[in-house]
Structure 1
């Protein structure tokens, strides 16, 4: 209904303006300043003769003769004007009407191509109000999980590994206050793709730690819940992220996920601010730095901000081993270690990388590195689980998937 009224009003206004322009054109071409000049002079003479006759300046006979003479000249002048009007070309409105038709066609056509015909007016204030309503009314974590289809089971999982996880579940059920058991359960459930069970175990980890729970523990829980909701930021996850930001306003993980939340509700302006903060303040090794850099330029165009992406920061010295691999000092130390100690150091680095990828994510190269290392350690089943999770995380990103698939193929996990 509103759409019909809009187009009707637009058409009426267009016709009205066109009529005014054509009318003005006809007036401008109807005659020149000298048209009808003689006739007006003769009419003035007739008026003058009447006044002189009334005052007695001229005799009645003379007045009658003058009237006849001037009237004859007036008739002749009128006939001449009529003949001139008949010989004049018509008003030059056809070219103007043609130009107007082209302008109207370009205007309506351009609006149909670039605009949104059929949509009502949506000013900025209304858009913000609608987005904030979406924020307030979005489903909670349980509702988001209930709306998802059943998740398919991961393939190529070692039955022995599954048996070990079953034993771990039984042990944790008997000893729910076993902190280390809950931590292992959360990690292994996540590796199996059982994200709800994983974050439930992580909730127990935080409860058991109490005041000693770290921001990393909370972010692990938030990430697992985010994944369990298939990439939707629930109110519960938002509360966890905001709690971290209160203590560390530059935490790159929390900033990035709050940006995702604002993207999901349509507050692209706020998402841009959060991701710009990630780009400006995140450490060089942050996985969210690369993510924010890859998304912020098109987001800036949507927001209407002229944004120039800064140069990527170089890797900083002192980067942790799980981010950059062993340092020269680590290699030298490893040469003096016993085989058992060397294996323990490698295991520590692998577990550190695994934990970070599970909680914070990472680049395709880091996922590929973890797959390769696990395969070299003989843990092909676990490498297959990591490969399946990486394929899910990088779905639709062909260039990054190619890196991961190449590592899996070299490890014998993919053709």
Structure 2
């Protein structure tokens, strides 16, 4: 009931604000016309007095008298038009009806299609709803209210951060992930989530700050799929499409069959092959689809054993033919993905010594290893 009372008062106020000036316009015009006529009559009387005293020549007095007469006639016509214009008769009634029709029609439409009897839903009441019955926005609002009162709740920030990322609110996701890391410590999931949010803020570009977060994630969990995927994307963004393709191919082999990243990696491999073909470059040798399918059908133990055998074969080949930059890059990455940090650093040292620390290839190997979070000094 209170809603209707407030609505009626607002409607009445808005209608009066339009009707009162409309109704009073004729009176204002009539008063203005009467004032003008009085002024012109005074001017005419003064002109006659000056002409009688000889202050104005008869010819000039006649011209002035004719001009004042024309103004008197014009003012009289304007006053007559105002008396039958907007302020009076059927025209005024039409204006009043038009103004009153607006609230009447709008109220009628609202009554027909609106929900005037729907109870109010204040934010506090909605936040107290059962979480199972709440919308995503209500759950986010509830979490934000909780964190506003408890800003040191790292678990709360950890829960809210990926929700922000899924909603596309990347700036807030960066803040939430940073708070979760600050309060509850770094983890591979938090660091990779932070990197993804930073990339989202940059419009999808994997910035240096995002790469640092992904590298920290790989240090905490070698083989972390999100970090590996985005670091390969960073290589592609830098124009190192062949290296990115190789990283995605290696990732495809190691992913389990039910990994949600398989589709994204397969698409990235296809796009990288297309880019290399368009540029006239030959794609680096990689596993065929049959080989990938065969690996995916293996058990985790068999897949790990096969990968380690491949890495051991690559290591042995590089010992015999060490002047192979791409081979050393594959070996360093393979050991790093397998979580064998000591072997990765040893491969980096051997590769740097074989290629020459001050050579262009040696510097490329060092830069590549740094992108994975590895240095020979570790």
Same fold flag (TM > 0.5)? no
The interval holding the TM-score normalised by the smaller chain is: 0.3 to 0.5
Q: Greater relative contact order (Cα 8 A, min sep 6): structure 1 or 2?
A: 1
